[in-house]
Amino acid sequence: MNKRFSLPWTQPRSGPRPHVIYLAIGFPPAAKSCAYRMRETANQFCALGWDVTVITLCDEAWEREYGLDHTLSESVDPRVKVVKLPLIRQDLETDIRAFSEDRSLNPGGWITELRKREQKVFPEPVFGGWRHELEKAVLRVHREHAADLLLSSCAPYVNIAATWKLWEEYKVPYAIDFRDGWSLDVIGGGEAFTRESVSGRWESRVLEQAVAVWTVNDPIAGWYRERYPHLADRVHVVRNGYDEESLPAISGRAPDPAAGLTFGYLGSVNFPPDFLDAVLTGWRLARRDDPLVARSRFEVRGHIGAGAMREANRHMDLLKAAAPDDVTFGGPVAKTALSATYGSWDALVLMLVGGRYVTSGKVYEFMATGLPVLSAHDVDHDASNVLAGHPLWTGAVGIDPQRLAHSFSEAARLAVTATEADRAEARELARRFARPAVLAPAVRHLAQLVRPGSSASTATAMTGV
């Protein structure tokens, strides 16, 4: 246990079965990438014999944003109790009959004023206004079933206000799953806000008492260790991972060069339109110069836009314009259909923004499929560290269209020449990132911090895989 943090009691507070409150905004059935990490975390606590109460948003909130995938809920341990709060983003309302007069006459001004009100409550746009309802929710859950631990998954960062409220009133120990960090600009690199700002004071205050802080990769962990050197031993790398049931059979689809190949991208299309345009231009150039790519198809699957802008934005315009180049958009993929989707593709296109502080959960799933992986991202990107040594990776060349064209050709060549041994080697390299292998040690570590000896397993030291 971290010696700088002393627990304010000597006896277990909830009997033989410890209890964790899990602030997990984005828990299944929310169709969000964080849902997989949250589901596995909750399941791992159940496997250790803990009672788990998840606090998230109501289904209506997710219907208004990225949508729902009820297949995600099928693998949630039935012992997990889920509390769904009626917190719904006003700015994503699409029914103009529900608009106020101010919003109808001046929508831009209405949004500006909404953001100001939200940040007066907590220094986070969009979600800051949820602070008081989240605070009341964690207090209510704790009073009904005393918690031994609160695990707060960010974003949204307003979760830390509720985390702090429970600490102030009941001294319930807590851990922060920062994932991508708050004071770090993971896309641009560098500081997102100063230590002296309102956000900085919130972050410093909450991290000071946290028993552990999770991040998704080593560069982000390094940032926090340098920013808070006296807390360095509490910062742990808990990577994202992949789910075995999402993978296709290793000896499934056999590429047919005569008929052409199928390239696939799966994930949220949340990068700038110019980024997508560069990738599509690289694809077009490859088709011009490479007969095999010219016979091939490029399928894009996933979420594009939220609310009223869902599948109605510049990204969709670009994809529709690329239809003559055999580019198609097929929408989101349900969790239960992932294996079949990957099994229908011959090579994968990994499109990612950011640089050394960004990994993305999809990189683990992509490499674990055993398919060739084409990287469309900065060379200095954490995904490159993860993919290093992958026998079917084309390497990172940035997003210059001409260089991407060469990568498309190389991925096509790898798809045709790869052996089952190559695919097996790629999967074996990814195996250390299987989601249970990543999250089970992290959850055991937290359990041991607040309830030493409460689980049958000895706490495993955090290794930073």
Tens digit of pLDDT for each residue in 328-376? 999 999 888 999 999 999 999 999 998 889 888 899 999 999 999 999 9
Which residues form the domain of 364?
244-432
- Residue 5 within a domain: no
Q: Residue 230 above 60 pLDDT?
A: yes
**Cβ atoms of 383 and 363 closer than 8 Å:** yes
Q: Which two tokens stand for residue 432?
A: 């250390």
- Residue 211 within a domain: yes
Where on the phi/psi map is residue 326: left (φ > 0), alpha (ψ -120 to 50), or beta? left
Residue 118 is predicted with a pLDDT of 96
Exposed e or buried b for every residue in 409-434, given b needs 16+ CB within 10 A? bbbbbbbeebeeebbebbbebbeebb
Work out the pLDDT band at 250, boundaries 50, 70, 90.
low
Exposed e or buried b for every residue in 30-45, given b needs 16+ CB within 10 A? bbbbbbbbbbbbbbbb
Q: Which amino acid is at 371?
A: L
Domain shared by 74 and 161, yes or no: yes
- Residue 464 within a domain: no
- Residue 4 within a domain: no
CA angle 246, 250, 255 (to 5 degrees): 105
Q: Which of 173-187, 241-255, 271-285 has the lowest mean pLDDT?
A: 241-255
Average confidence score pLDDT of the chain: 91
Work out the pLDDT band at 465, boundaries 50, 70, 90.
very low
**Cβ atoms of 45 and 38 closer than 8 Å:** no
The share of the chain scoring above pLDDT 70, in percent, equals 92
Residue 446: which of 455, 434, 433 has the closest Cα? 455
Domain shared by 264 and 236, yes or no: no
**Cβ atoms of 45 and 176 closer than 8 Å:** no
Residue with tokens 């606090």: 55
Domain shared by 72 and 206, yes or no: yes
Work out the pLDDT band at 74, boundaries 50, 70, 90.
very high
Q: What is the mean pLDDT of residues 264-290?
A: 95
Distance of CA 465 to the CA centre of its chain: 17
Work out the pLDDT band at 10, boundaries 50, 70, 90.
very low
**Cβ atoms of 216 and 186 closer than 8 Å:** no
Domain shared by 58 and 26, yes or no: yes
Domain shared by 266 and 398, yes or no: yes
Cβ neighbours of residue 52 closer than 8 Å, sequence gap 6 or more: 19, 20, 22, 42, 45, 46, 77, 79, 80, 81
pLDDT tens across 429-447, in order?
A: 999 999 999 999 999 999 9
- Residue 455 within a domain: no
Q: What is each CA distance from 119 to 112, 113, 130, in whole angstroms?
A: 11, 10, 10
Domain shared by 28 and 168, yes or no: yes
Residue 276 is predicted with a pLDDT of 96
Q: What is the mean pLDDT of residues 226-235?
A: 97
Distance CA 248, CA 253 (A): 9
Domain shared by 44 and 123, yes or no: yes
Neighbours of 390 (CB within 10 A): 21
Q: What is the pTM of this model?
A: 0.89
Q: Residue 458 above 90 pLDDT?
A: no
Half-sphere exposure of 140 (CA within 13 A, CB side): 10
CA dihedral 276, 429, 369, 436 (to 10 degrees): -100
pLDDT tens across 145-178, in order?
A: 999 999 999 999 999 999 999 999 999 999 999 9
Q: What is the largest CA-CA distance in the chain?
A: 71
- Residue 14 within a domain: no
Q: Residue 6 above 70 pLDDT?
A: no
Work out the pLDDT band at 455, boundaries 50, 70, 90.
low
Residue 304: which of 289, 294, 314, 292 has the closest Cα? 314
Distance CA 396, CA 374 (A): 8
Domain shared by 214 and 100, yes or no: yes
- Residue 327 within a domain: yes
pLDDT tens across 83-124, in order?
A: 999 999 999 998 999 999 999 999 999 999 999 999 999 999
Domain shared by 305 and 196, yes or no: no
Question: The domain spanning residue 180 has which CATH number?
Answer: 3.40.50.2000
pLDDT tens across 31-41, in order?
A: 998 999 999 99
Domain shared by 312 and 165, yes or no: no
Q: How many residues does the chain have?
A: 465
Work out the pLDDT band at 454, boundaries 50, 70, 90.
low
Residue 308 is predicted with a pLDDT of 67
- Residue 8 within a domain: no
Q: Residue 309 above 80 pLDDT?
A: no
Counted domains in the chain: 2
Domain shared by 214 and 351, yes or no: no
Work out the pLDDT band at 251, boundaries 50, 70, 90.
low
Domain shared by 289 and 424, yes or no: yes
